[in-house]
Structure 1
Amino acid sequence: MLDAVLIHQCADPSLKPAIVEQFIAKAGSQDPLAITVRSGTRVVLVPKPTTPEEALALIRDNLGRNTVRVGITQYPAGVGIVEAGQLKPDMVEPCENIRMGTTLFAKVFRIVSKWYGNSTAKQVLPQVMDDAVIAWQTGYFEGVAVFRSEDPGDVKLAKPEAADPETSVQDIPPAQDGGAAEPATNAGASDPNKAGIRIDLSGIGSRP
């Protein structure tokens, strides 16, 4: 279980802590140095890094040729990166990885939530969460490349539909295994790490 203090200090403030916890449980890792490399749908076996320097070298070796996911949030290393030399060691630092990952996931969540009509109905929230996680893992939602898409902004994230205290994101069932889920296969998806477009994450504001 990820430290609640770390989530409070580092996660994007527009996401409720319960969403962050489930996001990491379903799509992330408890290991800050976890590096996952895939070629298409095939997992590429790579040596487990023991230091941030080794992790960074592993990312650089595979970036551009394979899909590389990094750290606690399994952040897509190629997003916003034109060349490997732009990678920074703090990508595998726990707090920075959570900050980067949850900021980008917040945008993905908003994209999915908007597709659902920004519904705050209790029964819709689990589906929004599941689809947002799949979009994070594949890089696509309904044919849209979510990492490169414009942030819809001003989407109310998981706000209860009524004053009923029982109706909240806390009711979303937790992940069963507590580990990272395997990404769903999208035959039409291309490698998000090969995108040549930089991503401006500054537009993601805090939840009102």
Structure 2
Amino acid sequence: MLDAALIEKCADPSLSPAIVEQFVEAAGSPDPLAITVKSGGRLILVPKPKTPDEAMEIVRENVGRAIVRVGLTQFPAGVGVKDPSALKPDLVDPCENLKMGTKMFAKIMRIVAKWYGNPTENEVQPRIFEDAVHAWKTGEFEGREVFRAEDPGTDWQVPDVARKTEDAEPADGVAGARDERPAETDTASAGIRIDLSRINGK
């Protein structure tokens, strides 16, 4: 669990402390020096850094050749940076990483919310949150690169509560299943069905 003082000091003010905690729990890491490197969808094993300098060395070695995620929020290193040498140690500083990560995640939530029509209904908020987490993990939402996308700057306010509903789909399946999700009135989606095939029509 993130320290409340760290959240208050460093997290984007448009996100409530509850959402910041949920975001880091769902998509981040408890280790501020954590580095995840993926190439072609495969995880590449890298040495576990013991110092910020070691962490930055690993980041610079891999940025440009692979997808590199760093720190508490698993921020995508290299976004908007052409030269790996220009990467700053801020990436592995807990406060700066949380500041950058939550600011970016808040933008992604606004992008997702705009796609949904900026709804205010409480039951829709968990779905927006989970789609935003999925977009954070994949870097895309509805075929659009979210990290480089412009902030829609909508008037939609990030809700205070984004808890998963009991029937919410896991983040890994949300984006792919969004359009295929049957309407609640669809008979195929009924939880219990009765087999009437044996009735002979009399």
Report deviation, 1:123. Answer: 0.8
2:112 maps to what in 1? 112
Which residue does 1:61 correspond to in 2? 61
Asked if 1:155 corresponds to 2:136, the answer is no
Matched letter for residue 97 of structure 1: N
Q: Deviations over 1:88-142 (max 9, x none)?
A: 1121000000001111111111100111111121110110000000001111000
**Structure 2 gap ranges (5+):** 177-202
- Does the alignment pair 1:173 with 2:164? yes
- SS of structure 1 residue aligned to 2:129: helix
Deviations 1:35-84 (A, max 9, x none): 00001210000000000000000000000000000000000001111111
Per-residue deviation, residues 13-37 of structure 1 (Å, max 9, x unmatched): 1111111111100000000000000
The answer as to 2:67 corresponding to 1:50 is no
Structure number with the bigger relative contact order (C-alpha 8 A, sep ≥ 6) is 1
Q: Which has the larger radius of gyration?
A: 2
Q: Which residue identity does 1:35 align to in structure 2?
A: I
Counterpart amino acid of 2:124?
A: V
Counterpart residue number, 1:136: 136
The alpha carbon displacement at 1:158 in A equals 3.3
Residue 71 of structure 1 pairs with residue 71 of structure 2: yes
Does the 8 Å CA contact 1:113/1:157 hold for their aligned counterparts?
no
How far off its partner does 1:183 sit?
Answer: 6.4
Identity %: 58
CA distance in structure 2 between the aligned counterparts of 1:127 and 1:72, rounded to whole angstroms? 23
Match in the other structure for 1:82: 82
Aligned partners of 1:117, 1:82: CA distance in 2, in Å? 34
Using the size of structure 2 for normalisation, the TM-score is: 0.80
Paired with 2:103 and 2:32, the residues of 1 have a C-alpha distance of 17
TM-score by length of 1: 0.77
| 1:51 partner letter | T
Q: In angstroms, what is the RMSD of aligned CA positions? A: 2.2
CA distance 1:134–1:110, shift in 2 (3 Å): same
Q: Which has the higher helix share?
A: 2
- The amino acid of 1:169's aligned partner reads V
Report deviation, 1:182: 8.8
Residues 138 and 183 of structure 1 are in contact (CA less than 8 Å); yes or no, is this contact kept in structure 2?
A: no
Tell me, in whole angstroms, the C-alpha distance in 2 between the residues paired with 1:58 and 1:11. Answer: 25
CA contact (8 A) 2:114 2:154 kept: no
Paired with 1:97 and 1:115, the residues of 2 have a C-alpha distance of 27
Query: Given that residues 109 and 158 in structure 2 are in contact (C-alpha distance below 8 angstroms), is that contact kept between their aligned partners in structure 1?
Result: no
Residue identity matched to 2:111: I
Which 4+ residue blocks in structure 1 deviate beyond 4 angstroms? 181-184
